[in-house]
């Protein structure tokens, strides 16, 4: 059981695909299988850390390719292998031990990235959009420089794709807001 959460805390949990149901339980929605799992308070920190797995994969690739000067395909295989192992541990060890909960489609929709952006305060959403837009422009300039040197093109392109995606989600949330 949990206390009543503020809208800010609810949005923070929704970014982790968690919502609080009518019975005041934390419910995690697996976006891939659309199943719900009851989460204990102690497992929230694990989920928070584990939610960074895609960013860590990108970081492993960038460090391996750019800094350690490993060939791009070896760095990519290493990063994807780490992601595959962590995903397997997550699905086969962590989620299997959690009790399953039925989730209605409207509850599952509340934990989507777009819904979280739409429910965000308009001022904060504008700040996010400006920040990620600026990061996107700066990284695009770095891609042009990298293309000139033709050394780190794929690394910067992967980072640019991540920034463009998140900037697009934030922009959609801002313009969808009423």
Q: Which of 58, 42, 54 is nearest to 98 (CA)?
A: 42
Q: Give me the long-range contacts of 173-177 (CB less than 8 A, separation at least 24).
A: 173/114, 173/116, 173/117, 173/118, 173/120, 173/125, 174/117, 174/122, 174/125, 174/126, 174/129, 176/114, 176/117, 176/118, 177/118, 177/120, 177/122, 177/125
Average pLDDT over residues 29-45: 86
pLDDT of residue 72 exceeding 70, the answer is yes
Higher-pLDDT residue of 41, 141: 41
pLDDT at 167 (0 to 100): 78
Interatomic CA distance for residues 81 and 1, integer angstroms? 37
pLDDT in tens, 91-131: 888 889 999 998 888 888 778 777 777 777 788 878 877 88
pTM passes above 0.85: no
Residue by residue, DSSP assigns the chain as --PPPPHHHHHHHHTTTEEE-TTS-EEEE-TTT--EEEE-GGGHHHHHHHTTHHHHHHHHHHIIIIIS---HHHHHHHHHHHHHHHHHHIIIIIGGGSPEE---HHHHHTTSHHHHHHHS-HHHHHHHHHHHHHHHHHHHHHHHHHHHHTSSHHHHHHHHHHHHHHHHHHHHHHHH--
């Amino acid at each position: 059981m949990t206390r009543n959460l503020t809208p800010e805390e609810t949005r923070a949990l929704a970014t982790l695909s968690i919502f609080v149901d009518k019975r005041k339980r934390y419910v995690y929605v697996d976006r891939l299988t659309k199943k719900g799992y009851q989460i204990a308070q102690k497992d929230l920190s694990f989920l928070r850390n584990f939610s960074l797995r895609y960013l860590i994969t990108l970081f492993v690739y960038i460090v391996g390719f750019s800094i350690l000067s490993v060939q791009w395909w070896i760095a990519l295989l290493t990063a994807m292998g780490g992601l595959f192992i962590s995903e397997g541990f997550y699905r086969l060890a962590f989620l299997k031990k959690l009790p399953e909960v039925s989730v209605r489609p409207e509850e599952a929709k509340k934990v989507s990235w777009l819904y979280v952006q739409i429910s965000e305060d308009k001022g904060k959403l504008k700040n996010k959009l400006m920040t990620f837009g600026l990061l996107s422009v700066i990284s695009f300039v770095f891609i042009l420089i990298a293309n000139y040197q033709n050394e780190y093109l794929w690394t910067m392109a992967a980072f640019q794709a991540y920034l463009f995606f998140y900037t697009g989600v934030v922009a959609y949330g801002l313009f969808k807001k009423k």
